Amino acid sequence: MTLDGKVALITGGTSGIGKATALLFAEHGAKVAITGRNAERGAAVVAACEAHGAAALFLAADLTDSAVCAPLVAKTIAHFERLEMLVNNAGITHAAGTLETTDAQYFEQVAVNVTAPFLLSREAARAIKDQGGGAIVNVASDLGLRGEKGITAYCATKGAVIQLTRAMAIDQAEDNIRVNAVCPGEIHTGMLEGAMLDRGYTVEDGLAMLRERIPIKRIGKPEEIARAILFLASDEASFCTGAILSADGGTVAR
């Protein structure tokens, strides 16, 4: 699999799944722009990509501000002169049921998990169409495909991302832009640890509880999701569009 010389914009690229994806894309020859809120972590990921011989760029952005989205695409193209791939990875979760979810928590999750991917995808699709084609990969969730207690707004936003993926796949099919989604299950990142603490578990007890519920009986690694994203972004997935790829150790299958 190669991404030789292609340019990718990856949101939330300074940690977890986004960081693993940036490094894997760099290893496979891509030029990588990552967005994030922490310049120090961004610089570290850029240095790690460069260590793979890849050109890399950090773009500071808080995606709760919808006005920053379109300029991220423009800045990537201004730096690398083109764009072939967008990975909408940044996401936020608040472990709260319907009655406990505050307005602020609801609107933050909608802004980061749905509005930003829509605005970034629209802007990227305009540019990618003019260049003859490319790929968008959205990081949704198993919680976009099934319900779960105590995490209502997050489930709603991830379901929306799955439908955004299908609808855009059809809209952009004739522009030679493939649009697919990955649905991770439980993956060991800062987000999962935070969700366990929010629910009143210690990290260790929370992970042990989750492990028992996963058919494969282990928590996933960020690199395992990065590989699914790489596949969907690459030409190896040339006939895949509108696909919703579960990478969840069997959680949704059950």
Catalytic residue ranges: 154
C-alpha span between 207 and 158 (Å, rounded): 22
CB-wise, 175 or 231, nearer to ligand NAI? 231
Cβ atoms of residues 215 and 181 within 8 Å: no
Question: Which stretch in 57-65, 69-77, 78-86, 168-176 sits in contact with ligand NAI by CB under 6 A?
Answer: 57-65
Told to check if 134 binds ligand NAI by CB under 6 A, we report: no
Alpha-carbon span 103 to 118, nearest angstrom? 21
Sequence-separated contacts (24+) of 36-43 with Cβ below 8 Å: 36/12, 36/60, 36/61, 37/61, 37/62, 38/14, 41/14, 41/15, 42/13, 42/14
- Minimum CB distance to ligand NAI, residue 127 (Å): 21
Residue nearer to ligand NAI on the CB measure, 175 or 224: 224
Among 55, 191, 203, 243, binds ligand NAI (CB under 6 A): 191
| Residue 85 or 90 with smaller CB distance to ligand NAI | 90
3-state secondary structure of 180: strand
Q: Which two tokens stand for residue 145?
A: 């495909």
**Segment interacting with ligand NAI (CB under 6 A) among 1-9, 12-20, 46-54, 162-170:** 12-20
Q: State which of positions 66-125 bind ligand NAI (CB under 6 A).
A: 89-93, 112
Strand, helix or coil for residue 104: helix
State both tokens at 7. Answer: 């340019």
CB of 239 to ligand NAI, least distance (A): 25
Q: Which is nearer to ligand NAI, 54 or 92 (CB)?
A: 92
Footprint (CB under 6 A) of ligand NAI, residues 140-179: 141
189 binds ligand NAI (CB under 6 A): yes
Q: Per rule CB under 6 A, is residue 206 in the interface with ligand NAI?
A: no
Which residue, 13 or 134, is less far from ligand NAI as judged by CB? Answer: 13
**DSSP state at residue 37:** S
Residue 227 buriedness (CB in 10 A; 0-12 / 13-18 / 19+): middle
Among 3, 7, 10, 63, binds ligand NAI (CB under 6 A): 63
18 near ligand NAI, judged by CB under 6 A? yes
Residues 24 and 227 sit within 8 Å (Cβ to Cβ): yes
| Cα angle 166, 12, 127; round to 5 | 55
Note the residues at the interface with ligand NAI (CB under 6 A).
12, 14-18, 36-37, 61-64, 89-93, 112, 139, 141, 184, 186-187, 189-192, 222
